[in-house]
Amino acid sequence: MSGQDPKFVKGAFAKIADRYVMTNHVLSLGTDILWRKKVGRIVQGWQAQRVLDVATGTGDLALEIQKKCPDARVLGSDFCPEMLAHATESGVHETQLADAMNLPFEDASFDVVTVAFGLRNMENWEGALREMARVIRPGGHLLVLDFSQACGLLRKPYGYYLNRVLPKIAGLLTGQGAAYQYLAGSISDFPFGEEMVELFKKAGLLESQCEPLSGGIASIYTGVKAA
């Protein structure tokens, strides 16, 4: 089980940073907003004081968590300066340039670590989960939101949309169709459902579970750091 080439990933996001948010909303017909809102509600329920949003990109999830958890200290980190600059501009309270494979934080520094549509783009999924688990305090939570594979009748039409339609629309919107062709491939390579739950367990997370969203197009995975 492997991951993605970090040099390619960093370069691809640097190129689309200025249009990333708008393109997301168009391509998902706004569904990505609802998914992040759901994550915000879950994190709110954990009553966290210190939250790290890894691979925060333009900061959309960090902002949603700030809104839902006004008393929490929310830090957004990313290894792509062009993406992170948008997070800072949009009002994420604290941002830090950091590689998720080697986070510059002490063990057990956060109550909650989140990562939305970031893990799939990393170099080593199991290693990244272990590194994120390291910085969570015992009893704290990890939450991953990412694309998974659509199930049932949705599978074929969604596959067609992802592979054929989406890169063309994204190409028109961003001038970077190749970056979105990569998206389809990265989703088909990425573990989902029970396979991802197993990776959570290997990273030392307990009570690991998966909640599919929108017919399995995306999933939320959660786990608790062992005491």
Ligand X SMILES: C[S@@+](CC[C@H](N)C(=O)[O-])C[C@H]1O[C@@H](n2cnc3c(N)ncnc32)[C@H](O)[C@@H]1O
- Minimum CB distance to ligand X, residue 196 (Å): 17
The residue among 144 and 210 lying less far from ligand X, judged by its C-beta, is: 144
Q: Does 192 bind ligand X (CB under 6 A)?
A: no
Q: Does 6 bind ligand X (CB under 6 A)?
A: yes
The residue among 97 and 151 lying less far from ligand X, judged by its C-beta, is: 97
The residue among 21 and 108 lying less far from ligand X, judged by its C-beta, is: 21
Q: Does 170 bind ligand X (CB under 6 A)?
A: no
> Could you tell me how far CA 55 lies from the centroid of its own chain?
6
The residue among 56 and 149 lying less far from ligand X, judged by its C-beta, is: 56
Q: Does 117 bind ligand X (CB under 6 A)?
A: yes
- Minimum CB distance to ligand X, residue 94 (Å): 15
Near ligand X by CB under 6 A: residue from 66, 121, 149, 219: 121
Near ligand X by CB under 6 A: residue from 43, 74, 95, 99: 99
Q: Does 95 bind ligand X (CB under 6 A)?
A: no
Task: Name the site residues for ligand X (rule: CB under 6 A).
Answer: 6, 9-10, 13, 55-57, 60-61, 78-80, 83, 99-101, 116-118, 121-122
